[in-house]
A = this chain, B = another copy of it.
Amino acid sequence: MAEDDRAPHDGSQAHGPLLRKLSRIIELSNAETSCLQALHSNTVTFEPGQDILEEGRKIEQAYIQIDGWAYRYKTLLDGRRQIMNFVLPGDMSGIYGGIRVEADESVAAHTRVKCHSFDPVDLIELFGNCPKVGVAISWLVGRQDAIMSEQVLRVGRRTAYERTGHLILELLNRLRHTGDAESRSFELPITQELLADCLGLSVVHVNRTLRKLRENGIAHVKENRILIDDLERLINVTEFDGGYLEPHKLPPKVDQALN
């Protein structure tokens, strides 16, 4: 799991999970790459349980996550908590810092989390100086938006069973984009309580749902890994269509406009 971000996974670029992800949708020149690399100069580590950003507080730094699992969440006064989404290697936090002073959500590290930090205001300048990188970042933002959208559908209209299965597939696919998952399994270093707070369910019910998934021969958890036993059926049951996660090449018109 712990990965050296200088070691390429499979012949792709050796610049860490963010560039690995971006290289699939847009071709960056050396100048542009180093433009992005400028955001990679600082490294910070957060310990499990530590807050990376806090709802309502000023966003001092933005982050590019390299390793570990974090999550974006909100809470209600009586303690109910909702996780919007997990933050995985290659994901960014706090990018609105230059524009929307206060954080709308909290972000916390669940495992030990390693990330690069930078001044969110730099991002604004980067959009001006390096439009192609701006487009790449916008693509990421759009993708996050699509993920959020699936999250609303999941929590709002899917049953507990569908919900759980669908999230598993989303995580599988997201992790595969950075080389952090095998074809049918991945490391899931989180508790059922986190899962519950992400799925809008109680811990007890998550547990029962996972059991049903296991009993049906669809997927099971073993030693902090999730193993998918019947991928096809899981896809069918959850109506999973990974299109929203996939990198598409940019429209040619845009590529021209940028060169």
Contacts and interface: CB of A to CB of B under 8 A. Distances in A.
Interface of A: 56, 72, 74, 76-77, 80-82, 84, 96, 98-102, 104-105, 121, 124-125, 127-128, 131, 134-135, 138-139, 141-146, 148-153, 155-158, 199-200, 239, 243-244, 248, 250-251, 253-254, 257-258
A100 B100 CA distance: 24
A157 B243 contact: no
Name the prevailing secondary structure of the A interface residues.
helix
Contact of A257 (B72, B124, B251): B124
A253 B121 contact: yes
B149 A149 contact: no
B152 A102 contact: no
Contacts of A134: 127-128
B149 A104 contact: yes
A86 to B, nearest CB: 13
Contact of A145 (B125, B145, B157): B145
Contact of A142 (B96, B135, B149): B96
Nearest to A104: B146
A128 B166 CA distance: 38
Contacts of A82: 152-153, 156-157
Contacts of A96: 138, 142, 145
B145 A104 contact: yes
